[in-house]
Structure 1
């Protein structure tokens, strides 16, 4: 591994470890040491939470004006009623395109050290910007988005109140959206309550599943800590997205992403699968690797994996039980992925435990959005 790659990997690990250290809550003495209940989310010093900022961020999260065509809000790909993600294999694409990866839930995203499947954004603020401006997502342009906000009197007032500027600034919009997203956390799941000492919070099947999770099934090798992820990157052998076989627009998106992210000509012409974390440092040892996602709130976020190719939690367990799958990047498939030998009862118990990592649905009504109006005339 090159010095540059070691530095990159170290930065990823440090960011993840920092977030998890802050996130960990108090743990009962007789609970698995590699797991923990979730504590309060980390709040960056340069973007403190205030009620006014959170309310502004909530409005902007649901406002389609922060997109190229004025019709693609953050909530288009992160639907509250659908787990705060998109209920299909691949996320919704900008009109005229399709996306190329599965949309991840916003719930508990405040705890990640890096955002997106390949860790391309280092904060929720950066993630909001990347999504709103991404060519197959929001496809927005800075000057256009900022001008739209300026033509909304209520936004001018709110931005001035929260950030002290005469007119809305786009960087502040991302800060407000991130502040709202940091309120979408769930720290009171049955698992959290059990880890804090409530023996009755899990039923017997879930307790057996927990024992499998930290033992025979080996899940906690990667899904550990309070967030249930070590935030590292692995190739599991997830098969390629099947839409690329029949959907011409999806094929165009795939080739575009290969080109835009810096593929070699050989890769562009021959690759049939998502190179994943390769793009972060152009290291072939990371082909096909993706960040380990949190297992929290997964009861409502099917389908699973970076391309949505696994439909249910039962299918996820069976995928691992079979020793993963096969894809184009066999050389980088993790050695941790091997057949588990679970029987039907054990698989059912493991699914029961996974469901304990989710509490009640987090839902909310969309806010009423303010209207456009003419800008006031400049005074002499």
Structure 2
């Protein structure tokens, strides 16, 4: 038997509610192949180039911060700390998200600031507290690597490596970092034994009493909408001077009012994109896939384990500076300890084996022949 319709397991009241069709949760399902944009088709050569660029620090301001610095395969393709690493002399201000299955998102970053993996790669490479690179300098470095000159000519037809094409290659590589064979996927594809009894009970809770599937739905287990769930502010802003400096820098750079710049003590989230007060403290629903390896959790890493996450929601979320915007969906759940155990067991079924490729050997820069500069 295939398990393609799960709302019958416990969401009957939700499906029968008077929600408009576009507001109803999408049914849970197995994850299929990632979407590939027509303007950046996949080829083995492009993916191989993107893999090297992902692990090469050449695309950063100081030639020392590769994509993999903040998306380390052995750390869930993220950073297993509250806040991601920052460019030397800075720190970051948000938790590093895994790139596993990032190919399926319609928008990237916690507040949806990038509309594609190509744009995300550019934003990360150039971000003041991330790669801090300049396109022209990074492009010049690529031109000093014979292997890259040859690869860009083969893949894109470039006379000299184009930084825009570098971001396209990295995006193509990221679209290969997907996981579609988790126990949950296997169960949804008809293998009744892929989930144990605790995980099946947890699935019933996920789609029913715990109400998780209202926001964590569809094959990605994310509705890609934005909510304030009451996650408390990052505690490092209390006593870490560098973290405070970075936070103030971000507030200023992203367009705060003078009053907000001086008084805000929490991450405004989606507000930075919309400038609507009602969006303060809202962040995109993250996928729950691969989360066994991406601890700690939430946009600022303030919740340490998957069980802590379930307890957080069971207690009705938390409180932050933007409490007026807290979602009405966040209510105490009334789960017992055994039910929490079952729900955590189900969440663990959303991750398969760790994806741990061997990092490629990256090429080195060499001086150009003087004749090439004439």
Q: Same fold (TM over 0.5)?
A: yes
Corresponding position of 1:370:
363
Q: 1:350 to 1:379 in 2, by over 3 A?
A: closer
Corresponding position of 1:188:
181
Q: Counterpart of 2:51 in 1: which secondary structure?
A: helix
Distance 1:96 1:188 in 2: 40
Q: Counterpart of 1:99 in 2: which secondary structure?
A: coil
Distance 1:106 1:30 in 2: 28
Please report how far the alpha carbon of residue 64 of structure 1 lies from its aligned counterpart in structure 2 after TM superposition: 0.4
Q: 1:110 to 1:27 in 2, by over 3 A?
A: farther
Please report how far the alpha carbon of residue 275 of structure 1 lies from its aligned counterpart in structure 2 after TM superposition: 0.1
Q: Counterpart of 1:378 in 2: which secondary structure?
A: helix
Q: Tell me how large the CA RMSD over aligned residues is.
A: 1.2
Please report how far the alpha carbon of residue 197 of structure 1 lies from its aligned counterpart in structure 2 after TM superposition: 1.2
Q: 2:330 aligns with which of 324, 328, 337?
A: 337
The one-character-per-residue Cα deviations of 1:253-276 (angstroms, maximum 9, x if unpaired) are: 000000000000010000000000
Q: 1:227 to 1:344 in 2, by over 3 A?
A: same
Distance 1:212 1:99 in 2: 36
1:297 and 2:279 aligned? no
Q: Counterpart of 2:329 in 1: which secondary structure?
A: coil
Give the TM-score, by structure 1 length.
0.92
1:242 and 2:235 aligned? yes
Where does structure 2 lack aligned partners over 5 or more consecutive residues? 9-26
Distance 1:29 1:371 in 2: 50
Distance 1:283 1:28 in 2: 41
Q: 2:125 aligns with which of 113, 128, 132?
A: 132
| Contact 2:121/2:167 (8 A) holds in 1 | yes
Corresponding position of 1:28:
3
Q: 1:318 to 1:372 in 2, by over 3 A?
A: same
Distance 1:312 1:321 in 2: 14
Q: 1:35 to 1:371 in 2, by over 3 A?
A: same
1:95 and 2:70 aligned? no
Where does structure 1 lack aligned partners over 5 or more consecutive residues? 1-25
| Contact 1:27/1:37 (8 A) holds in 2 | no
The one-character-per-residue Cα deviations of 1:245-304 (angstroms, maximum 9, x if unpaired) are: 000000000000000000000100000000000011101110000000000000000000
| Contact 2:4/2:28 (8 A) holds in 1 | no
Aligned residues: 355
1:42 and 2:42 aligned? no
Please report how far the alpha carbon of residue 372 of structure 1 lies from its aligned counterpart in structure 2 after TM superposition: 1.2
Corresponding position of 1:159:
152
Q: 2:249 aligns with which of 246, 256, 259?
A: 256
The one-character-per-residue Cα deviations of 1:322-349 (angstroms, maximum 9, x if unpaired) are: 0000000011000000000000000000
| Contact 2:5/2:28 (8 A) holds in 1 | no
Corresponding position of 2:320:
327
1:106 and 2:81 aligned? no
Q: 1:82 to 1:29 in 2, by over 3 A?
A: closer
Distance 2:6 2:59 in 1: 45
Give the TM-score, by structure 2 length.
0.93
Distance 1:28 1:345 in 2: 24
Distance 1:282 1:101 in 2: 19
1:78 and 2:53 aligned? no
The one-character-per-residue Cα deviations of 1:206-264 (angstroms, maximum 9, x if unpaired) are: 00000000000000000000000000000000000000000000000000000000000
Please report how far the alpha carbon of residue 28 of structure 1 lies from its aligned counterpart in structure 2 after TM superposition: 3.4
| Contact 1:92/1:98 (8 A) holds in 2 | yes
1:175 and 2:168 aligned? yes
Moved over 6 A (4+): none
Corresponding position of 1:61:
54
1:231 and 2:227 aligned? no
Distance 2:163 2:233 in 1: 36
Distance 2:37 2:2 in 1: 25
